[in-house]
Amino acid sequence: MDRPVVAAGVGMEYPPASMDQALDRAAPLLPASHMEVGTGSTYGGRVRQAAADVVDGAALWRLGVTLGWLDIKLRYRGSMLGPFWLTISTAVWIGALGEINSLLFHMDLHGYLPFLALSLVLWTALSGLVGDACNTFLQSEATIRAMRMPYFVHAVRVVVRTIIGLGHNIPVILVVFARFGAWPGDAALWSLPGFALWTIDSFAICIALGTLCARFRDIPPIVASVMQIAFFITPIMWKPQQLGDHGWWLKLNPFNDLLEVVRQPLLGIVPTGHMWLAAIGYSVLFCLLTSMLFVRVRGRLAFWM
Protein backbone atom coordinates (compact mmCIF):
# COMPACT_ATOMS: atom_id res chain seq x y z
CA MET A 1 0.00 0.00 0.00
CA ASP A 2 1.33 3.46 -0.89
CA ARG A 3 2.17 5.65 2.03
CA PRO A 4 0.74 9.19 2.28
CA VAL A 5 2.88 12.00 0.95
CA VAL A 6 4.46 14.15 3.61
CA ALA A 7 3.41 17.68 2.81
CA ALA A 8 1.27 20.41 4.22
CA GLY A 9 -2.13 19.97 2.63
CA VAL A 10 -0.91 17.57 -0.11
CA GLY A 11 -1.78 13.91 0.25
CA MET A 12 -2.91 14.44 3.86
CA GLU A 13 -6.23 14.90 5.54
CA TYR A 14 -4.82 17.87 7.44
CA PRO A 15 -1.42 19.64 7.57
CA PRO A 16 0.94 18.90 10.47
CA ALA A 17 0.45 21.27 13.38
CA SER A 18 3.99 21.02 14.73
CA MET A 19 7.53 20.11 13.71
CA ASP A 20 7.46 16.88 15.70
CA GLN A 21 4.22 15.80 14.01
CA ALA A 22 5.69 16.41 10.55
CA LEU A 23 8.83 14.41 11.40
CA ASP A 24 6.84 11.56 12.95
CA ARG A 25 4.80 11.20 9.76
CA ALA A 26 7.96 11.32 7.66
CA ALA A 27 9.87 8.67 9.60
CA PRO A 28 8.40 5.62 7.78
CA LEU A 29 9.21 7.21 4.41
CA LEU A 30 12.87 7.96 5.05
CA PRO A 31 15.34 5.79 3.12
CA ALA A 32 17.95 4.08 5.29
CA SER A 33 20.19 2.28 2.83
CA HIS A 34 22.56 5.20 2.32
CA MET A 35 22.60 6.60 5.85
CA GLU A 36 25.79 4.90 6.96
CA VAL A 37 28.07 7.08 9.07
CA GLY A 38 31.78 6.90 9.63
CA THR A 39 34.83 7.25 7.41
CA GLY A 40 35.77 3.65 6.77
CA SER A 41 34.33 3.28 3.24
CA THR A 42 36.33 3.82 0.06
CA TYR A 43 36.22 7.10 -1.85
CA GLY A 44 33.93 5.56 -4.45
CA GLY A 45 31.60 4.41 -1.70
CA ARG A 46 31.51 7.87 -0.15
CA VAL A 47 30.71 9.38 -3.56
CA ARG A 48 27.78 6.98 -3.99
CA GLN A 49 26.49 7.72 -0.48
CA ALA A 50 26.71 11.47 -1.02
CA ALA A 51 24.94 11.21 -4.39
CA ALA A 52 22.25 8.99 -2.84
CA ASP A 53 21.79 11.56 -0.07
CA VAL A 54 21.11 14.33 -2.59
CA VAL A 55 18.80 12.18 -4.72
CA ASP A 56 16.80 10.82 -1.80
CA GLY A 57 16.68 14.26 -0.18
CA ALA A 58 15.33 15.77 -3.39
CA ALA A 59 12.70 13.01 -3.51
CA LEU A 60 11.59 14.13 -0.04
CA TRP A 61 11.17 17.76 -1.15
CA ARG A 62 7.64 17.82 0.25
CA LEU A 63 9.05 17.18 3.71
CA GLY A 64 11.57 19.99 3.25
CA VAL A 65 8.81 22.37 2.14
CA THR A 66 6.68 21.42 5.14
CA LEU A 67 9.54 21.95 7.58
CA GLY A 68 10.44 25.31 6.02
CA TRP A 69 6.83 26.44 6.15
CA LEU A 70 6.52 25.41 9.80
CA ASP A 71 9.71 27.32 10.61
CA ILE A 72 8.12 30.52 9.30
CA LYS A 73 4.84 29.75 11.04
CA LEU A 74 6.50 29.14 14.40
CA ARG A 75 8.82 32.15 14.06
CA TYR A 76 5.87 34.53 13.82
CA ARG A 77 3.52 32.70 16.15
CA GLY A 78 1.43 35.19 18.11
CA SER A 79 2.16 38.05 15.70
CA MET A 80 -0.76 39.89 14.14
CA LEU A 81 0.94 40.57 10.79
CA GLY A 82 3.33 37.62 10.82
CA PRO A 83 5.95 37.69 8.06
CA PHE A 84 4.34 40.79 6.56
CA TRP A 85 6.44 42.70 9.08
CA LEU A 86 9.24 41.94 6.62
CA THR A 87 7.27 43.69 3.91
CA ILE A 88 6.67 46.77 6.03
CA SER A 89 10.26 47.08 7.25
CA THR A 90 11.61 46.61 3.72
CA ALA A 91 9.26 49.28 2.34
CA VAL A 92 10.28 51.78 5.02
CA TRP A 93 13.97 50.98 4.49
CA ILE A 94 13.74 51.46 0.72
CA GLY A 95 11.76 54.67 1.02
CA ALA A 96 14.20 56.25 3.47
CA LEU A 97 17.36 55.18 1.63
CA GLY A 98 15.89 56.15 -1.74
CA GLU A 99 15.26 59.74 -0.71
CA ILE A 100 18.63 60.18 1.01
CA ASN A 101 20.82 58.40 -1.55
CA SER A 102 19.20 60.10 -4.52
CA LEU A 103 20.30 63.42 -3.01
CA LEU A 104 23.77 62.19 -2.03
CA PHE A 105 24.48 60.60 -5.41
CA HIS A 106 22.63 63.32 -7.40
CA MET A 107 20.45 60.80 -9.19
CA ASP A 108 16.90 61.04 -10.48
CA LEU A 109 14.57 59.28 -8.05
CA HIS A 110 12.48 58.02 -11.00
CA GLY A 111 15.37 55.88 -12.24
CA TYR A 112 17.08 55.20 -8.94
CA LEU A 113 14.31 53.95 -6.65
CA PRO A 114 13.27 50.93 -8.80
CA PHE A 115 16.95 49.93 -8.97
CA LEU A 116 17.38 50.33 -5.22
CA ALA A 117 14.16 48.48 -4.35
CA LEU A 118 15.01 45.50 -6.52
CA SER A 119 18.65 45.43 -5.36
CA LEU A 120 17.81 45.57 -1.65
CA VAL A 121 15.12 42.89 -1.88
CA LEU A 122 17.42 40.52 -3.78
CA TRP A 123 20.37 41.20 -1.47
CA THR A 124 18.21 40.74 1.62
CA ALA A 125 17.22 37.30 0.35
CA LEU A 126 20.82 36.42 -0.55
CA SER A 127 22.37 37.58 2.72
CA GLY A 128 19.57 35.98 4.72
CA LEU A 129 20.19 32.69 2.95
CA VAL A 130 23.91 32.82 3.69
CA GLY A 131 23.23 33.57 7.35
CA ASP A 132 20.70 30.73 7.68
CA ALA A 133 22.98 28.36 5.77
CA CYS A 134 25.50 28.52 8.61
CA ASN A 135 22.91 26.81 10.84
CA THR A 136 21.61 24.33 8.27
CA PHE A 137 22.63 21.31 10.34
CA LEU A 138 23.14 22.91 13.76
CA GLN A 139 19.48 23.92 14.00
CA SER A 140 18.49 20.32 13.25
CA GLU A 141 20.90 18.75 15.73
CA ALA A 142 18.17 16.88 17.62
CA THR A 143 16.63 15.55 14.40
CA ILE A 144 19.99 14.41 12.99
CA ARG A 145 20.73 12.52 16.19
CA ALA A 146 17.25 11.03 16.54
CA MET A 147 16.47 9.70 13.05
CA ARG A 148 18.02 8.79 9.74
CA MET A 149 17.27 11.49 7.23
CA PRO A 150 19.12 12.69 4.11
CA TYR A 151 21.13 15.79 4.96
CA PHE A 152 19.89 17.39 1.75
CA VAL A 153 16.41 17.71 3.29
CA HIS A 154 17.80 20.24 5.77
CA ALA A 155 19.18 22.28 2.87
CA VAL A 156 15.76 22.23 1.19
CA ARG A 157 14.27 23.46 4.46
CA VAL A 158 16.55 26.51 4.57
CA VAL A 159 16.01 27.36 0.89
CA VAL A 160 12.23 27.18 1.32
CA ARG A 161 12.40 29.61 4.23
CA THR A 162 14.38 32.03 2.07
CA ILE A 163 11.93 31.76 -0.83
CA ILE A 164 8.99 32.47 1.48
CA GLY A 165 10.77 35.53 2.87
CA LEU A 166 11.56 36.75 -0.65
CA GLY A 167 7.94 36.24 -1.64
CA HIS A 168 6.76 38.57 1.13
CA ASN A 169 9.02 41.35 -0.21
CA ILE A 170 7.94 41.08 -3.85
CA PRO A 171 4.90 43.37 -3.29
CA VAL A 172 7.32 46.19 -2.40
CA ILE A 173 9.00 45.84 -5.80
CA LEU A 174 5.66 45.75 -7.59
CA VAL A 175 4.45 48.91 -5.85
CA VAL A 176 7.66 50.80 -6.69
CA PHE A 177 7.61 49.63 -10.30
CA ALA A 178 3.95 50.62 -10.65
CA ARG A 179 4.58 54.02 -9.06
CA PHE A 180 7.41 54.89 -11.47
CA GLY A 181 6.24 52.89 -14.50
CA ALA A 182 9.41 50.80 -14.55
CA TRP A 183 8.00 47.59 -16.01
CA PRO A 184 10.75 45.45 -17.60
CA GLY A 185 8.72 43.94 -20.44
CA ASP A 186 9.76 40.71 -22.15
CA ALA A 187 13.33 41.05 -20.87
CA ALA A 188 12.07 39.90 -17.45
CA LEU A 189 11.90 36.34 -18.79
CA TRP A 190 15.70 36.25 -18.71
CA SER A 191 15.49 36.35 -14.92
CA LEU A 192 14.05 32.81 -14.85
CA PRO A 193 17.34 31.06 -15.69
CA GLY A 194 18.99 33.45 -13.25
CA PHE A 195 16.66 32.34 -10.46
CA ALA A 196 17.28 28.71 -11.44
CA LEU A 197 21.01 29.34 -11.06
CA TRP A 198 20.37 30.95 -7.69
CA THR A 199 18.38 27.92 -6.55
CA ILE A 200 21.20 25.52 -7.40
CA ASP A 201 23.71 27.78 -5.69
CA SER A 202 21.44 28.02 -2.64
CA PHE A 203 21.54 24.28 -2.06
CA ALA A 204 25.32 24.32 -2.46
CA ILE A 205 25.65 27.22 0.01
CA CYS A 206 23.56 25.38 2.60
CA ILE A 207 25.60 22.19 2.27
CA ALA A 208 28.98 23.97 2.28
CA LEU A 209 28.40 26.46 5.07
CA GLY A 210 26.26 24.05 7.07
CA THR A 211 29.08 21.50 7.01
CA LEU A 212 31.88 23.94 7.80
CA CYS A 213 29.96 25.67 10.59
CA ALA A 214 29.09 22.34 12.18
CA ARG A 215 32.81 21.60 12.47
CA PHE A 216 34.16 25.11 13.12
CA ARG A 217 31.84 27.26 15.26
CA ASP A 218 33.86 30.43 14.62
CA ILE A 219 32.86 30.58 10.95
CA PRO A 220 29.35 32.18 11.32
CA PRO A 221 30.69 35.55 12.61
CA ILE A 222 33.35 35.48 9.89
CA VAL A 223 30.66 34.91 7.26
CA ALA A 224 28.58 37.76 8.71
CA SER A 225 31.56 40.12 8.46
CA VAL A 226 32.27 39.07 4.88
CA MET A 227 28.64 39.69 3.88
CA GLN A 228 28.75 43.17 5.44
CA ILE A 229 31.82 44.03 3.39
CA ALA A 230 30.28 42.49 0.25
CA PHE A 231 27.20 44.69 0.71
CA PHE A 232 29.28 47.86 0.31
CA ILE A 233 31.53 46.68 -2.53
CA THR A 234 28.63 45.27 -4.57
CA PRO A 235 26.43 47.72 -6.56
CA ILE A 236 23.31 47.67 -4.43
CA MET A 237 22.95 51.21 -3.10
CA TRP A 238 24.97 52.59 -6.00
CA LYS A 239 25.00 51.85 -9.72
CA PRO A 240 27.95 50.24 -11.53
CA GLN A 241 28.05 53.16 -13.98
CA GLN A 242 29.09 55.49 -11.16
CA LEU A 243 32.52 53.86 -11.02
CA GLY A 244 33.32 54.89 -14.55
CA ASP A 245 36.75 53.65 -15.66
CA HIS A 246 37.36 52.18 -12.21
CA GLY A 247 34.63 49.56 -12.59
CA TRP A 248 37.02 46.88 -13.85
CA TRP A 249 37.37 45.38 -10.38
CA LEU A 250 33.66 44.46 -10.32
CA LYS A 251 34.60 41.51 -12.56
CA LEU A 252 36.46 40.08 -9.56
CA ASN A 253 33.34 40.26 -7.38
CA PRO A 254 31.28 37.04 -7.81
CA PHE A 255 28.29 38.62 -6.09
CA ASN A 256 28.05 41.22 -8.86
CA ASP A 257 27.63 38.78 -11.76
CA LEU A 258 25.30 36.49 -9.81
CA LEU A 259 23.18 39.49 -8.84
CA GLU A 260 23.10 41.04 -12.29
CA VAL A 261 21.79 37.93 -14.11
CA VAL A 262 18.61 38.34 -12.06
CA ARG A 263 18.49 42.09 -11.54
CA GLN A 264 19.17 43.32 -15.08
CA PRO A 265 16.30 41.37 -16.72
CA LEU A 266 13.89 42.71 -14.08
CA LEU A 267 15.05 46.22 -14.97
CA GLY A 268 14.43 45.60 -18.69
CA ILE A 269 18.06 44.85 -19.64
CA VAL A 270 19.24 41.59 -21.20
CA PRO A 271 22.50 40.45 -19.51
CA THR A 272 25.55 40.12 -21.72
CA GLY A 273 27.02 36.74 -22.62
CA HIS A 274 30.16 37.57 -20.63
CA MET A 275 28.06 38.15 -17.54
CA TRP A 276 26.26 34.82 -17.98
CA LEU A 277 29.52 32.97 -18.48
CA ALA A 278 30.99 34.54 -15.35
CA ALA A 279 27.93 33.72 -13.24
CA ILE A 280 27.77 30.14 -14.49
CA GLY A 281 31.52 29.72 -14.04
CA TYR A 282 31.39 30.89 -10.42
CA SER A 283 28.43 28.59 -9.77
CA VAL A 284 30.04 25.52 -11.33
CA LEU A 285 33.25 26.08 -9.39
CA PHE A 286 31.41 26.55 -6.11
CA CYS A 287 29.18 23.51 -6.65
CA LEU A 288 32.23 21.41 -7.50
CA LEU A 289 34.04 22.46 -4.33
CA THR A 290 30.89 21.83 -2.28
CA SER A 291 30.53 18.35 -3.76
CA MET A 292 34.12 17.49 -2.88
CA LEU A 293 33.60 18.77 0.67
CA PHE A 294 30.33 16.89 1.15
CA VAL A 295 31.79 13.63 -0.13
CA ARG A 296 34.71 13.95 2.24
CA VAL A 297 32.93 14.89 5.48
CA ARG A 298 29.38 13.61 5.12
CA GLY A 299 30.07 10.50 7.20
CA ARG A 300 31.36 12.65 10.07
CA LEU A 301 28.56 15.23 10.24
CA ALA A 302 26.49 13.35 12.81
CA PHE A 303 29.48 13.25 15.16
CA TRP A 304 29.97 17.02 14.96
CA MET A 305 26.53 17.85 16.25
Arithmetic mean of pLDDT, 73-85: 80
More confident site: 268 or 22: 268
What is the rounded distance in angstroms from the CA atom of residue 153 to the CA atom of residue 60?
A: 7
Q: How confident is the model at residue 99 (pLDDT cuts 50, 70, 90)?
A: confident
More confident residue, 156 or 93: 156
pTM of structure: 0.83
- Residue 227 CA, distance from chain mean position: 14
139-177: per-residue pLDDT in tens? Answer: 888 888 888 889 999 999 999 999 999 999 999 999 999
Burial class (CB in 10 A: 0-12, 13-18, 19+), 186: exposed
- The residue range of the domain holding 77 is 46-304
The reply to whether 116 falls in a domain is yes
Number of domains in the chain: 1
Please tell me the least confidently modeled range out of 22-36, 259-273, 283-297: 22-36
Residue 234's SS3 state is: coil
Assess contact for 298 and 151: CB atoms under 8 A: yes
How many angstroms separate the CA atoms of 286 and 233, rounded?
A: 20
Q: Of 40-44, 147-151, 253-257, which range is least confident?
A: 40-44
Query: Is residue 242, in this structure, part of any structural domain at all?
Result: yes
Q: Give pLDDT, residue 10.
A: 42
Q: With CA atoms as reference, report the closest residue to 162 among 220, 203, 191.
A: 203
The whole-number average pLDDT for the span 14-35 is: 54
Is 156 within the bounds of a domain?
Answer: yes
Question: What is the rounded distance in angstroms from the CA atom of residue 38 to the CA atom of residue 35?
Answer: 10
Task: Report pLDDT digits (tens) over 191-204.
Answer: 999 999 999 999 99
Judge whether residue 9 has pLDDT over 80: no
The set of residues, in sequence order, having a beta carbon less than 8 Å from that of 225 and lying 6+ positions away, is none
**pLDDT at res. 77:** 82
What DSSP designation does 239 have?
Answer: -
pLDDT at position 299 is: 87
Q: Is residue 39 part of a domain?
A: no
Burial tier of 164 (Cβ tally within 10 Å: 0-12, 13-18, 19+): middle
How high is the pLDDT of residue 7? Answer: 43
**Is 30 a domain residue?**
no
